[in-house]
Amino acid sequence: MEPQPDAAPTPVPSVRDWSELPLDALTSVFAGLGAVDVLMGAGLVCHSWLEAAKAPELWRRVDMGRGPRDKEVMAKNRGADLDDPNRGVAFARPSPGQNRLSKSTRVMCAMAKEAVDRSNGKLEVFVGANFVTDEVLTYIGARSPSLKGLALLSCYHVTSQGFTDLVTKCTQLEDIELSGCVGVRGDVMVATGRACLRLKRLVLDKTWRRRWDSGEVAGISMMHELRHLSLARSEITNDELMAVVDACPCLEYLSVVDCYNIVADVALRAKCATVKTLGLPASQDHHYDWDEFYAYGFGTASYHGDIGYGWMSDDRHASNGPYDYGFGTASYDHDMDYGWMPDD
């Protein structure tokens, strides 16, 4: 009996070397991730992925603080937050240095600066929730001459001075959203109106307890190119609102639903007749007494999460405005040394 030839060896399936993906393909994939996901995960897999993660076009739009991975970073350092002198003091004026910021805030601020650096001066949209400080705004203002969209959501460390310094440097801004930032007052709108002559969309949602001054109305009245205006919890009156409408002839969208000094009477509706989309408060039988309201010291009402923010949509397929983008998620190693992360 003749010996049988040895059976052919089973071919070993080829393993794709993901590090050899073309740079443009990697950049396209990374564009579907959030800034934190790229900085702490995908961009650290290998050298070629790190190079792709540094592409300036990837950092034209930066959204930080709202995604699930962003919240993981905040939660990971929550123990250090217990030592934060400002913890639980929502209305305390933050110190100018980093020494009074919690570790989670410092980590997020460091990542925001890294994202700005990687944009190489091409940052167009910045969205920051909860962690942003005046120092971060100064960093953005000094390096982002092309900034067109800015949203600050519940950023308790941001002050009027920090916000004013940014808008006076980033004069190309067309879209601003300011929500629940208790350290920012209405007078910043005057500086914004003077500096940002191209502003087309403005959303202001302050907290109940933080009373603004007349600078809010004076500043908005300077924004003659405004198309979209949304005010919530503002003390603006009918006469002031009609003055704003007169000063902003391009206005197409106006919402003052939660402004309880506004009475939706015939005169106001007639003044707003040219506004395509109009949101006014329900009928009221009496003028709202703000002095009595503040005297009782009702709490704040800041929010983000499930509330819709127009062009800042969590739906990556949405197209709600001039800045259409959305970010996904990716996993990362919490214990990795990231280099740029601040020490304890």
- The string of DSSP letters for 173-226 reads --EEEEES-TT--TTHHHHHHHH-TT--EEEEE--SS----THHHHHHTT-TT-
% of the chain with per-residue pLDDT over 70: 56
> Who's near 305: CB < 8 A, 6+ residues apart?
66
Q: Stretch 312-338: mean pLDDT, rounded?
A: 34
| Residue 147, amino acid | L
Least confident of 112-121, 177-186, 283-292: 283-292
User: Residue 20's pLDDT band (boundaries 50, 70, 90)?
Assistant: low
Q: Stretch 45-60: mean pLDDT, rounded?
A: 68
Same fold, 20-59 and 60-296: no
Q: Are 152 and 175 in contact (CB under 8 A)?
A: no
240-262 burial by CB neighbour count: b if 16+ within 10 A, else e? bbebbbebbeebebbbbebbbbb
Higher pLDDT, 315 or 239: 239
Checking if the pLDDT of 21 tops 90, the result is: no
Q: What's the pLDDT at 88?
A: 36
Span 60-296 CATH architecture: Alpha-Beta Horseshoe (3.80)
Higher pLDDT, 303 or 251: 251
Domain 20-59: assigned CATH number: 1.20.1280
Q: What's the pLDDT at 10?
A: 62
Q: Are 262 and 237 in contact (CB under 8 A)?
A: yes
β-strands 61-64, 175-179 pairing: unpaired
Q: What's the pLDDT at 286?
A: 43
Higher pLDDT, 25 or 141: 141
Least confident of 242-246, 289-293, 339-343: 289-293
* All structural domains of the chain with their residue ranges: 20-59, 60-296
Q: What's the pLDDT at 75?
A: 64
Q: Count other C-beta atoms under 10 Å from residue 60's C-beta.
A: 18
Q: Is 101 exposed, middle or buried (0-12, 13-18, 19+ CB in 10 A)?
A: buried
Least confident of 152-161, 169-178, 212-221, 238-247: 212-221
Beta strands per DSSP E along the chain: 61-64, 125-129, 149-153, 175-179, 201-205, 228-232, 253-258, 277-279
| Chain segment 195-214, per-residue pLDDT in tens | 999 999 999 998 755 566 66
User: Residue 53's pLDDT band (boundaries 50, 70, 90)?
Assistant: low
| Chain segment 104-158, per-residue pLDDT in tens | 889 889 989 999 998 999 999 999 998 999 999 999 999 999 999 999 999 989 9
| Chain segment 87-108, per-residue pLDDT in tens | 433 333 444 444 478 888 898 8
Higher pLDDT, 193 or 93: 193
User: Residue 283's pLDDT band (boundaries 50, 70, 90)?
Assistant: low
